[in-house]
Amino acid sequence: LWKNDAGIRDLEGLMPYADVGFGEPPGPLRVREGGVEFTIDAIGGQKTGWFYDQRANRDALAPFVKGARVLDMFAYLGAWGLRAAAMGAKEVTCVDASASAVRLIGTNAERNGLADRVHAERADAFDCLKVLRERREHFDVVILDPPAFVKRKKDLKEGALAYRRINELAMQVLARDGILVTCSCSYHMPHAALLEAVQKSARHLDRGVQVLQSLQQAPDHPVHPAIPETDYLKGFICRVLSA
């Protein structure tokens, strides 16, 4: 499967395309992760239909979600949220801006017997968090796995502000001493810059942050020392402490 449809091709004047290298285009495929089965769209979906680079990080949810109320923002197919439900979360809300993604979250929840604990909602993440804040909703765990806010080096200042805004909104819907899982797939957003965005968000709200675990891409996405662009995924599992 050749997925040459990244937006960066536009900068080089190249046409985006997705095609198969051999055989016929596949229909909907099923992948299994952590005992949960997901339907994916390999051709029309994001990347190759699934974010394999986050697999190990989703495994790391287990100690934090049992019996918890979980909010999965930028959910796509519900990978984080459905995994959390399978690990014992009592209630999961998955939010994504794509109608087709939200439909597949429902399909995947039904297939895995999780529909009674998983709710999928179509909404813009920033707008949704503001609504939840106004309704005084609170979650034990909030997961932020957004698309890249910093696609080019010159966008770093604006993108870093977006990461700060989304993390601050997430903290405002966290329960007392709740868990924030925050990620960035922007190569131009260094680990330290993401952590700084989290720290600034917490300070602005007069809260403290404990970093419980640092996250990176799965081992089957190795980093080449001579190609710094391969070290692109970073994240943190944090406990956000009340003042």
- Name the more confident of 47 and 188: 188
For residue 22, pLDDT over 70 is answered with yes
For residue 115, pLDDT over 70 is answered with yes
Residue 42: the pLDDT is: 66
* Given 94, 183, 185, 238, the catalytic residue: 185
Query: Could you tell me the domains of the chain?
Result: 47-241 (3.40.50.150)
Q: How far is residue 149's CA from residue 163's CA, in Å, rounded to a whole number?
A: 7
For residue 39, pLDDT over 70 is answered with yes
- Name the more confident of 47 and 174: 174
- What are the pLDDT digits (tens) for 58-91? 999 999 999 999 999 999 999 999 999 999 999 9
For residue 4, pLDDT over 80 is answered with no
Cα distances (Å, whole numbers) of residue 72 to 35, 81, 224, 241: 19, 5, 31, 20
What does the DSSP 8-state code read for residue 168? H
Phi, psi of 71 (to 5 degrees): -120, 120
User: What mean pLDDT, rounded, does the chain reach?
Assistant: 90
Q: Where are the alpha helices (DSSP H) in 123-232?
A: 125-134, 156-171, 191-204
For residue 231, pLDDT over 90 is answered with no
pTM as predicted: 0.89
For residue 50, pLDDT over 80 is answered with no
Task: Show Cβ contacts of residue 24 under 8 Å, excluding neighbours closer than 6 positions.
Answer: none
Residue 44: the pLDDT is: 65
Q: Is 183 a catalytic residue?
A: no
Q: How far is residue 45's CA from residue 13's CA, in Å, rounded to a whole number?
A: 23
Q: Where residue 152 falls among pLDDT bands split at 50, 70, 90? A: confident
Cα distances (Å, whole numbers) of residue 239 to 121, 132, 140: 26, 20, 10
